[in-house]
Amino acid sequence: MHDWERIQREAARSLTRLLPRVAQAFAEAGGAAGEWNVFEQRLRREWPRLFELLFGLYGTQYDFFYHLEQLLLAMAQSWLKRPDWLKQRDALREADTEWFQSERMMGGVLYVDRFCGTLARLREFIPYFRELGLTYLHLMPLFEAPEGNNDGGYAVSSYRRVNPHIGTTAELADLARELDTAGISLVLDFVFNHTSDEHEWARRAQAGDPDYQEFYFLFPDRTMPDAYERTLREIFPTVRRGSFTWRPDMQRWVWTTFNSFQWDLNYANPAVFRAMAAEMLFLANLGVAVLRLDAVPFIWKRMGTNCENQPEAHRIIQAFNAIARITAPALLFKSEAIVHPDDVLSYVSPQECQLSYNPLLMALLWETLATREVKLLAHSLSHRFRLPPGCAWINYLRSHDDIGWTFDDNDARAVGIDPWGHRQFLNAFYTGRFPGSFARGLPFQENPDTGDARVSGTLASLAGLEQALAGGDPQAIDIAIRRIILLHSIVLSIGGIPLIYLGDEVGTLNDYGYVSDPAKADDSRWVHRPLRNQVAMDQRHDPTTIPGRIFSTLTRLIHLRTSLPALRDGMMEVVRSDNRHVLAYVRQTGSQRVLVLANFSEYPQSIAGNLLRMYGPGLELFDLIQEQPVSATTALTLQPYQFVWLTPSWQR
Ligand code: GLC
Ligand code: GLC
């Protein structure tokens, strides 16, 4: 008998055994029969897959079936508690699984405390979010975390209690509902690779509870840490060397991939999987539409590897996905894998993460801005942009994190670029050390051993606005604004969900104040996590101001996009422009076709008429950006950093 058949028989047997018990518990807890039927139907549908995944991960554990039963009970309980409006969402999303593949999808991200202080105040900004066209709002980590340095909330002490400085869990649930009514999906983090060292599980481990010590990776001496470190990559080398932290109180080394107060969870322990599944379902029932799965590459450790992107990491996420399909079907996952593009892609599928950050596009847009040449971007996109059906990129220009140069070395070599030297150049360029650079960024995590570094900075400061303002040169300011708009025009037209870091829409600059806060001083990412700039926001309707120029152009593009079905989903074809400074791609849906041309240099560039005739549909075209006809019978001149969205004139 094949392994698969054997496992499926086992799956069927165990379901027969477990279902009556779970049904009984459901009924005893007051669950209605109709509700149970919905649950049971979904459970039966997903069970073969869920069982196989869990069996592969934990089938050899002596108490595997105990964990399985506990998991099912927790799922049923969570379904019982799921609010009605979310159950309605579930039905709606199941009937339209690709609802997010839409020209109307538009994302924003912010830190509640930095943006407006509290959840209560955030509600006052819903009109602003609507003005921007947002349909997706990612609130950065807002649950309890240690005071002082907590890695921007990524050291979570409770997945259920909102940080009291920000508000309450009840307010968060109310906000989710209110956002939903405004057409905005709530996105929250699921920081599941680690907890803070103040999480109850970590505290119990510190107090000597053996069950909770098995939640983490604890070692009495350096033998295992040394063995692992032979092949590990250091993530925060300027904060602390290596990936382990000595806890004198416990006389143990603890695995801490990130900061010493972020303890990696041990997913080889089924109790950890189960505990985190319960936290996930709690978040889902608050009204979260998308969970951002933090640091996915790191969740499974294997000796002799870099402990990133292990096959089990995928299985764990897929098992969470199956659980969500049963108990909270409206919930989507977004993968945060800022690694090699092949590995980024490996997390994206309807059975794993339906959404993923697109760090390659992000990094290469900056690369193109620095070099003024589109060859690496065009080549990489031509074979790395397509996703499996039912999945979408989150296309962003910068996040709360640093920018790392995660392009593929062979892609670089294929277009005549030396990858190592190029990364050195890009770091020098974006930290302003390269002569003639327009950028004002800061280095992040420079590793003296490897020469690696990443870059921090706001969109506007990296694009040259800060330097131009300091120089007081109106032409340089104009050019910087054009760069900012150009970058946005790409994420708005290339397909997937565009994501704006709130503040960038009004040209917010770097904030160097973080250095005076000891909890932040050694983490340069704080330079691009400034407080809300109300002055700039108030100027957004005044076209004589810089915020006004940026905001009005951006909102115009965002609203224009909502009328162009061709810009939805991810079907995108990079085409020749025969000009090394101009990126060209075609978007098409049904009969609508849009040719995008984007000039990445500060000089006018020309595109031959025959290319317009080849890729642009028809002889008479219309540029939706300038709102004017373009004839494909002659060459087209693009002004510095100009972009056009060309449709046939008859499509207008
Ligand atoms: C993710 C977050 C980052 C954090 C890290 C550890 O990469 O984006 O800010 O430092 O995970 O949680
Ligand atoms: C995490 C960190 C980010 C880093 C990346 C490296 O995502 O947050 O800063 O660049 O890991 O993989």
Q: Are 298 and 308 in contact (CB under 8 A)?
A: yes
> Which pLDDT score, from 0 to 100, does residue 650 have?
64
Give the integer Cα–Cα distance in Å for 197 and 263.
6
User: Which atom of ligand 2 has the smallest separation from the CA of 336?
Assistant: 7
Residue at 3 is within a domain: yes
Residue identified by tokens 């302003």 is 432
Ligand 1 contact, 197 CB (< 6 A): no
pLDDT in the model for residue 652:
54
| pLDDT given for residue 101 in this prediction | 96
Tell if the pTM clears 0.85, that is, is over it. Answer: yes
Q: Is residue 27 part of a domain?
A: yes
CA distances from 16 to 43, 47, 257, 425 (A): 12, 11, 41, 61
pLDDT above 90 for 313: yes
Domain count, the chain: 2
Q: Please name which of 355, 375, 353 lies closest in space to residue 364, comparing C-alpha atoms.
A: 375
Place of tokens 């894998």: 337
Question: Interior CA angle at 559 toward 557 and 561, to 5°?
Answer: 70
Q: Residue 580 Cα, ligand 1 centroid: separation in angstroms?
A: 36
| Strands annotated E in 117-203 | 136-139, 185-190, 194-196
pLDDT one-digit tens code per residue, 315-324: 999 999 999 9
| pLDDT band at residue 651 under the 50/70/90 scheme | low
How close is the Cα of 264 to the center of ligand 1, in Å? Answer: 12
What ligand has the least distance to the C-alpha of 306? Answer: 2
Q: Is 167 part of any domain?
A: no
Would the CB of 402 count as within 6 Å of ligand 1? no
State which of 192, 235, 236 you would mutate to test the pocket of ligand 2, scoring each by most atoms of that ligand within 8 A of its C-beta: 235
Domain boundary among 42, 60, 81: 81
Output the pLDDT for position 236. 86
SS3 content of the chain, % helix, strand, coil (to 5): 45, 15, 40
DSSP string, 393-456: EEEES--SS-B-----HHHHHHTT--HHHHHHHHHHHHTT-STT-----EEES--TTT---EEE
| Residue 238's pLDDT band (cuts 50, 70, 90) | confident
Residue 224 has pLDDT above 80, yes or no: yes
Cβ-contact 149, 139 below 8 angstroms: no
Does 63 reside within a domain?
Answer: yes
Question: Average per-residue pLDDT in the chain?
Answer: 96
Q: Cα(238)–Cα(452) distance, rounded to whole angstroms? A: 11
* pLDDT of 241 above 90: no
* Residue where a domain terminates, one of 31, 48, 81: 81
Q: In this structure, what token pair is assigned to residue 337?
A: 């894998």
Mean pLDDT of 388-400: 97
Residue 583 sits in a domain whose CATH number is 2.60.40.1180
pLDDT of residue 100: 97
- pLDDT single digits (tens) 523-542: 999 999 999 999 999 999 99
CB of 239 closer than 6 angstroms to any ligand 2 atom? no
First to last CA, the chain: 61
The residue whose CB lies within 8 Å of the most ligand 1 atoms, and thus the one to mutate among 189, 236, 294, is 294
Question: Does residue 294's CB lie within 6 angstroms of at least one atom of ligand 1?
Answer: yes
CA-closest candidate to residue 498, choices 103, 163, 182? 103
Residue 259: other Cβ atoms inside 10 A: 21
CA 39 to centroid of ligand 1, rounded, Å: 34
Q: Which ligand is nearest to the CA of 444?
A: 2
Q: pLDDT by residue (tens digit) across 265-310?
A: 999 999 999 999 999 999 999 999 999 999 999 999 999 999 999 9
Q: Considering 48, 81, 114, which residue would you say is the last residue of a domain?
A: 81
At residue 444, the 3 state secondary structure works out as strand
pLDDT of residue 119 exceeding 90, the answer is yes
Does position 2 have pLDDT exceeding 80, yes or no? no
CA of 338, closest atom in ligand 2: 12
Rounded to whole angstroms, the Cα distance separating 177 from 206 reads 38
Q: Indicate the pLDDT class of residue 649, thresholds 50, 70 and 90.
A: confident
Q: 89: which residues sit within 8 A by CB, 6+ positions away?
A: 180, 289, 330
Closest listed residue to residue 622, CA positions, set 588, 591, 650:
650
Q: What is the mean pLDDT of residues 400-408?
A: 97
pLDDT more than 70, % of the chain: 99
Residue 73 forms part of a structural domain:
yes
102 pLDDT more than 60: yes
CA angle 420, 378, 570 (to 5 degrees): 120
Residue matched to tokens 């061709």:
566
Let me know if residue 643 belongs to a domain.
Answer: yes
Ligand closest in space to the Cα of 258: 1
Assess whether pLDDT exceeds 90 at residue 39.
Answer: yes
Segment among 355-359, 618-622, 634-638 with least mean pLDDT: 618-622
Query: Which residues belong to the active site?
Result: 294, 336
Beta-carbon-side half-sphere exposure of residue 9 (alpha carbons within 13 Å): 6
Note the pLDDT tens digit of each residue in 330-346: 999 999 999 999 999 99
The reply to whether 64 falls in a domain is: yes
Of residues 148, 150, 370, 388, the one with CA closest to residue 261: 150
Mean pLDDT over 311-316 rounds to 98
Distance CA 464, CA 38 (A): 55
Please name the residue that has the structure tokens 């089938």: 59
The range of the structural domain enclosing residue 22 comes to: 1-81
User: What's the whole-number mean pLDDT along residues 359-369?
Assistant: 98
Q: Which amino acid is residue 129, in one-letter code?
A: F
Q: What is the per-residue pLDDT for 4? A: 87
Does the Cβ of 338 fall within 6 Å of ligand 2? yes
Residue whose Cα lies nearest atom 11 of ligand 1: it is 295
CA distance 107 to 365: 19
Look at residue 1 in the predicted model and tell me its pLDDT: 53
Task: Please tell me the predicted confidence (pLDDT) of residue 616.
Answer: 81
In this predicted structure, what is the pLDDT of residue 621?
94
pLDDT 10s digits, 543-562 = 999 999 999 999 999 999 99
| pLDDT at site 232 | 96
Mean pLDDT for the stretch of residues 475-480: 98
Q: Is residue 325 part of a domain?
A: no
